[in-house]
Amino acid sequence: MINDTIAAIATAIGEGGIAIIRVSGPEAIEGVGRIFRSKTALQDAESHTVHYGNIIDPATGDSIEEVIVTLMRGPRSFTAEDVVEINTHGGVIAVKKVLDAVLLQKDIRIAEPGEFTKRAFLNGRIDLMQAEAVIDLIRSKSDRAFSVARKQAEGILSKRIQALRQTVIELLAHIEVNIDYPEHDVAEMTAAYIREQCGSALEEIGRLLKTANEGKILREGIMTAIVGRPNVGKSSLMNVLTQENKAIVTDIPGTTRDVIEEYVSLNGIPLRLMDTAGIRETTDVVEKIGVERSRSALEDADLVLLVLNNHETLHEDDRKLMELVEGRPVIVIINKTDLPNKLDIGEVESRFGSEAVIRMSVVAEQGMDQLEKAISRMFFEGELDSGDLTYVSNVRHISLLKQARQSLLDAVEASDIGIPIDVIQIDVRTAWESLGEILGDTAGDSLIDQIFSQFCLGK
Ligand code: GDP
Ligand code: ZN
């Protein structure tokens, strides 16, 4: 049972138009009410109402700050507890002073990172999958990733996992009845039933896992390495990508500058540019770190952009690089097409396929849309469709779904070869637990702590 009250600044720290202090718990209304002077006492106010007034310094009785207070009585609030949100309009000092005044109240303490969301989870208002989607919302690197996370936070994916669990629990109940009341002709029927129930669960898991690749990419960005000889235009490409396609998340609290700089959104496709600093300083992968090292850098890349110079014939180092990236997901950018062609494009196309070769001029800003289409083809099986945004995107969920799939496959196989039903029961139960772990029903405390520790303060 949670019986203390927590408070924190819920908006980004720094100079801003307004800041919000969020207070949640049994003492929220009483505690804030004591230092809030307004027309209606907070303690007497109705739920879901907004109040104008002043926060009073408890020591002097003077006003610290003019505020607007929103009151939400549990369980109709984010945490399912009594929640008071204080909107201040001042800078850092005023916000801090108001928070200090709140924290002086009996049984109110500063919140840990993620503690509001954790309470929403512990109070059963959201499941673990939805809580993780809240982290994804804060961190999303593109419009699309944001929309995917929002769907998950709303619980669209949780509902499908719950339905899956229902299928599995029905099977488990059926098996357990047969273990407790064995009758001679039930065994055959049970084997058929196991195949049927597992089959429909496996189909649904298959459908969900089909979205996992794209989902993971949307969530985490495509790890992209830009390689090429000196002077082919890598830094110029990087600059165009980062300047014109800034990640849209600048005003979302919890995102840090360096994270934003690493990500660019190419028409909704989130690219995570590797080794950005290196390229910016015009150090070149092959030259600086050598072929061996760039090979290992390339290992981590989901996508390699190999840049060649249209205005020069193929250099020995170009050929080395082409060899190096062969077999990786690569798009070759023939840059500087504004200059006369000297490069044997035919040779490059015969090696990588014409679909993977893009003609581009970074300075003339030509070819960016072809690049985007090529990436889209490579990672999203064609055009990104804006309709269905139900994706499994979190590696934790993906791996638990795979575990559940394996357990169900084991159950089917065991039943096919006539293995006793109490052994099969173990597989089915394991599948049920894996699915439950996605939602947090069967997740241990340490996992839960670890997940919520990823949040920023005030969430
Ligand atoms: P890097 O060494 O591969 O990073 O190459 P840079 O991006 O530093 O570019 C080297 C030179 O090529 C610079 O002078 C750029 O302005 C020029 N450059 C880059 N892209 C183009 C292009 O598309 N056309 C032309 N004409 N010049 C380019
Ligand atoms: Zn460079």
Nearest CA to ligand 1 atom 6: 233
pTM here? Answer: 0.69
Q: Is the CB of 339 under 6 A from ligand 1?
A: yes
Ligand 1 centroid to 442 CA: how many Å?
55
Q: Is the CB of 228 under 6 A from ligand 1?
A: yes
Same structural domain, 40 and 18: yes
Ligand 2 centroid to 357 CA: how many Å?
21
Q: Which of 351, 380, 409 is the last residue of a domain?
A: 380
Domain assignment present for 123: no
What is the rounded CA–CA span in Å between residue 71 and residue 228?
Answer: 58
Same structural domain, 356 and 237: yes
Is 346 a known ligand-binding residue?
Answer: no
What does DSSP say about strands 36-38 and 49-56: parallel, antiparallel, or unpaired? antiparallel
Q: Is the CB of 433 under 6 A from ligand 1?
A: no
Same structural domain, 31 and 168: no
- Domains in the chain, number: 3
Here the tokens at position 304 are 């390699």
Same structural domain, 169 and 190: yes
Pocket test for ligand 1, best of 362, 365, 371 (most atoms within 8 A of CB): 362
Nearest CA to ligand 1 atom 11: 231
What is the rounded CA–CA span in Å between residue 308 and residue 228?
Answer: 6
Q: Is the CB of 454 under 6 A from ligand 1?
A: no
Task: Determine the structural domain holding residue 135 and report its residue range.
Answer: 131-211+393-452
pLDDT of residue 135: 83
Same structural domain, 374 and 402: no
Q: Which of 111, 142, 165 is the last residue of a domain?
A: 111
Ligand 2 centroid to 305 CA: how many Å?
14
Q: Is the CB of 239 under 6 A from ligand 1?
A: no
Nearest CA to ligand 1 atom 24: 336
Domain assignment present for 204: yes
* Predicted ipTM > 0.90: yes
Q: 291: left (phi > 0), else alpha (psi -120 to 50), else beta?
A: alpha
Same structural domain, 226 and 366: yes
Same structural domain, 205 and 348: no
Q: Is the CB of 158 under 6 A from ligand 1?
A: no
Domain assignment present for 367: yes
Same structural domain, 107 and 18: yes
Is 82 a known ligand-binding residue?
Answer: no
Same structural domain, 222 and 355: yes
Which one-letter DSSP state was computed for residue 456?
P
Ligand 2 centroid to 282 CA: how many Å?
3
Q: What CATH number corresponds to the domain at position 97?
A: 3.30.1360.120
Domain assignment present for 136: yes
Nearest CA to 382 out of 392, 374, 390 is that of: 374
Domain assignment present for 189: yes
pLDDT of residue 166: 94
pLDDT of residue 1: 57
pLDDT in tens, the chain (459 residues): 577 999 998 877 666 677 899 999 999 999 999 999 999 899 999 999 999 999 998 888 899 999 999 999 999 999 999 999 999 986 778 888 999 999 999 999 999 888 999 999 999 999 999 999 988 887 777 777 788 888 888 898 999 999 999 999 999 988 888 777 766 556 666 788 889 999 999 999 999 998 887 888 777 788 888 888 888 888 888 878 876 544 433 333 333 333 334 577 787 778 888 754 444 444 444 444 445 555 666 777 889 999 999 999 999 888 988 988 888 899 999 999 999 999 999 999 999 999 999 999 999 989 999 998 898 888 876 555 545 678 888 889 999 999 999 999 999 999 889 888 888 999 999 999 999 999 998 777 887 888 887 776 667
Here the tokens at position 102 are 């709140």
Q: Is the CB of 235 under 6 A from ligand 1?
A: yes
pLDDT of residue 244: 55
Domain assignment present for 458: no
Q: 444: left (phi > 0), else alpha (psi -120 to 50), else beta?
A: beta
Same structural domain, 187 and 221: no
Q: Which of 320, 351, 380 is the last residue of a domain?
A: 380
Which one-letter DSSP state was computed for residue 385?
P
Q: Helix (H, G, I), strand (E, B), or coil: what is residue 211?
A: coil
String of DSSP letters for 116-146: HHHHHHHTTSS-HHHHHHHHHHHH--SHHHH
Q: Is the CB of 229 under 6 A from ligand 1?
A: no
What is the rounded CA–CA span in Å between residue 295 and residue 286?
Answer: 9
Ligand 1 atom at minimum distance from 364 CA: 23
Domain assignment present for 386: no
pLDDT of residue 289: 46
String of DSSP letters for 78-110: SSSS-EEEEEE-S-HHHHHHHHHHHHTSTTEEE
Q: Please list, residue by residue across 173-191, b when 16 or more beta carbons sit within 10 angstroms of its beta carbon and e when fewer do.
A: ebbeebeeeeeeeeeeebb
Same structural domain, 257 and 367: yes
Pocket test for ligand 1, best of 275, 312, 363 (most atoms within 8 A of CB): 363
Q: What CATH number corresponds to the domain at position 315?
A: 3.40.50.300
Same structural domain, 200 and 244: no
Nearest CA to 86 out of 75, 106, 107, 100 is that of: 100
Domain assignment present for 160: yes
What is the rounded CA–CA span in Å between residue 454 and residue 456?
Answer: 7
